[in-house]
Amino acid sequence: MKIAIIGTGYVGLPSGVGFAELGNEVYCIDNNINKINMLNKGVLTLYENGLDDLFTRNVKAGRLHFTTSMKDGVNNADLVIIAVGTPPHPVTKEADLQYIEAAAQELAPYLTGYTVVATKSTVPVGTGDKVEAIIRKSNPKADADIISLPEFLREGFAIYDFFHPERIVVGTDSERARQLISDLYATFENTKLLFVNRKSSETIKYASNAFLAIKLNYINEMANFCEKSGANIDEVALGMGLDSRIGNKFLKAGPGYGGSCFPKDTNAMSYMARQYGVTMPLIDTTIAENDARPALMAQRILQLSKPDAKIAVLGLAFKNGTDDCRTSPAIQIIEKLLEKKADITAFDPQANVSALKLLGNKIAYADDAYSAVKDADIIAVLTEWKDFTELDWQKIASLVRQKVIMDCRNILDATALKKLGFKYRCIGQKDE
C-alpha cells in the first residue's frame, strides 16, 4: 500500500516508521523544510524509545521517504493520513483547526484513483465533515472516502503501541474504506477494529483523554487528602488498583498531568460542550485543579529550602521516554519557581534541548545528574525517568550542600535515602 502521512511530528513520524516496517511504501510529508532535511540526512527530529533502529532500517530498505512535496506523497496513495497539530487557541482554548484545513486544501488536488483520507489528529466532533467539504470543493472528481482514525499512542511507548494497539477506532460508513483499513491492520490479528460513525470516532478520542485526565486528577486529589490524614497514596492506589473495575493504570499521584494531549484535549472538550450548551463540571473541575498543581508543587519545594537556595531539578520532559516538554509539569513548576527568583540547574536524559527552547537561559542545564546536584540545597525530581532511581545516591549525598529531596514523582527509595541522611518528601504522604 502507498501511504502518505501529512505531519511528521510525535504522531506522524513513529506511525510512518511503523507502517513502513509493515512493508508499506510510506511518504512522510512536512512543510517544515528543516525537519525534512534532517530526516533525509538520517537524523531523527525527536526522541522516542526504539524509533532509531526502525527508522534506519526502513530508510535503508527504501520504503520510507521524507518530502515537503504534497504531490510526491499524495499522488497514487491508497491512504492519506492527516497528522498535523491541533493546538489550543490561545484565548478560547478550542482546538485550532487551521493546520487541518490547510492540509485538506493542499492534499486535495493530488488525489488520484480511490483514496482513503484519514484524520489521525485529535479533532473536534464534526471536523470530518469540514475536511470532506474542503476536499469535495477543491477536487469534485476525487474518488475519496474521508474517515476518522484517531491516534491513541502514548509518547515514550509510541513504537510499542503502534505494534500492539489495544484498539483501532475507525469512523466511517464506507464499505470500501472499511476494507482498506482492515487490510492495513490485517497483521494485528488480536487487535479489535471498531467501526463506528465518524462523529462517534472523533468523540471517542476526547472522551478517552478526558476520562484519563479525570482519573489522574482524582488520585492527585486523594494524595492531597493523604498528606493531611497520614495515609500513604502509593499504598492507597495499590489497594484501589487491585479492583478490576478501577484498574491500576493512571493511578499514580504526581505533579499533575501534562504533555501535548491531556491539557489541550480537556480544554477543547470543555469548549465543544459549551458550544452544544452542555455543562461538563467534572472536566472543568479537573482542568482547574490540574492548572493549580504546578504552583502547589513549587510551594512545597520552596518551603523546604531557604530563599536563595540552589535548586537541582531532575527531569524536564512531561513524562519519561520522550524529549517532549509541551505543557510539561516540570517546565510549569520551574516557571513558578523562577517567579520567586530561584537559582535552578536542571538535567533531563533526553529533554535538555527541548526545554532550552521553552525556558532559554533562565535556568542552567547540566550534562548529567551529578553535575546538576553539585552544591544544591534541594533536589526536585520532576520526571519519572528510571535513570534517576539508578543514580549513586551515596555519591550525590557527598555532592550536595543540603541533603533535601522533593520527589514529585514518588520514584525514589525513601528508606535508602533517609539512611543516607536525606530529608525526603514526596506526594501523598504526611511530612514527618
Decide if residue 15 touches ligand NAD (CB under 6 A): no
Contact present, 253 and 220 (Cβ < 8 Å): yes
Decide if residue 103 touches ligand NAD (CB under 6 A): yes
Which residue in 84, 269, 314, 316 binds ligand NAD (CB under 6 A)?
84
Strand-pair category, 64-67 with 79-82: unpaired
3-state secondary structure of 399: helix
DSSP state of 27: E
Strand-pair category, 192-196 with 167-171: parallel
Decide if residue 80 touches ligand NAD (CB under 6 A): no
| Nearest distance from C-beta of residue 81 to ligand NAD, angstroms | 10
Contact present, 78 and 3 (Cβ < 8 Å): yes
Distance CA 408, CA 37 (A): 39
Q: Which is nearer to ligand NAD, 24 or 260 (CB)?
A: 260
Q: Which is nearer to ligand NAD, 84 or 313 (CB)?
A: 84
- Residue 170: strand pairing partners: 195
Which residues ranging from 325 to 384 are in contact with ligand NAD (CB under 6 A)?
A: none
Which of these segments, 28-36, 49-57, 190-198, 360-368, binds ligand NAD (CB under 6 A)?
A: 28-36
| Nearest distance from C-beta of residue 235 to ligand NAD, angstroms | 30
- Residue 425: strand pairing partners: 406
Decide if residue 31 touches ligand NAD (CB under 6 A): yes
Q: Which is nearer to ligand NAD, 122 or 286 (CB)?
A: 122
Look at the alpha carbons of 153, 154, 155, 159 in this order and tell me if their dihedral is positive or negative: negative
Distance CA 357, CA 338 (A): 16
* Backbone dihedral region for residue 126 (phi beyond 0: left; psi -120 to 50: alpha; all else: beta): left
- Residue 395: strand pairing partners: none
Q: Which is nearer to ligand NAD, 6 or 80 (CB)?
A: 6
Decide if residue 85 touches ligand NAD (CB under 6 A): yes
| Nearest distance from C-beta of residue 308 to ligand NAD, angstroms | 38
Contact present, 282 and 214 (Cβ < 8 Å): yes
Distance CA 137, CA 2 (A): 24
Enclosing H/E stretch for 19? helix 12-21
HSE-CB of 427 using CA atoms within 13 angstroms: 29
Query: For residue 77, what is its C-alpha cell?
Result: 496513495
Decide if residue 29 touches ligand NAD (CB under 6 A): yes
Which of these segments, 81-89, 179-187, 331-339, 405-413, binds ligand NAD (CB under 6 A)?
A: 81-89
Contacts with ligand NAD by CB under 6 A: the residue count is 27
Which of these segments, 8-16, 332-340, 368-376, 401-409, binds ligand NAD (CB under 6 A)?
A: 8-16
Decide if residue 155 touches ligand NAD (CB under 6 A): yes
Distance CA 14, CA 52 (A): 10
Contact present, 204 and 167 (Cβ < 8 Å): no
Which of these segments, 25-33, 286-294, 301-309, 357-365, binds ligand NAD (CB under 6 A)?
A: 25-33
**Chain-centre distance for alpha carbon 236:** 26
Decide if residue 30 touches ligand NAD (CB under 6 A): yes
Which residues ranging from 193 to 222 are in contact with ligand NAD (CB under 6 A)?
A: none
Does residue 261 have an active-site annotation?
Answer: yes
Residue type, 31: N
Contact present, 100 and 205 (Cβ < 8 Å): no
Which residues ranging from 233 to 262 are in contact with ligand NAD (CB under 6 A)?
A: 260-261
Q: Which is nearer to ligand NAD, 86 or 350 (CB)?
A: 86
| Nearest distance from C-beta of residue 237 to ligand NAD, angstroms | 24
Decide if residue 121 touches ligand NAD (CB under 6 A): yes
Q: Which is nearer to ligand NAD, 107 or 214 (CB)?
A: 107
Decide if residue 106 touches ligand NAD (CB under 6 A): yes
- Residue 115: strand pairing partners: 144
Name the active-site residue from 261, 325, 408, 426.
261
| Nearest distance from C-beta of residue 316 to ligand NAD, angstroms | 17
Q: Which residues are catalytic, by number? A: 261
Binding site for ligand NAD (CB under 6 A): 6-12, 29-32, 35, 83-86, 99, 102-103, 106, 121-122, 151, 153, 155, 260-261
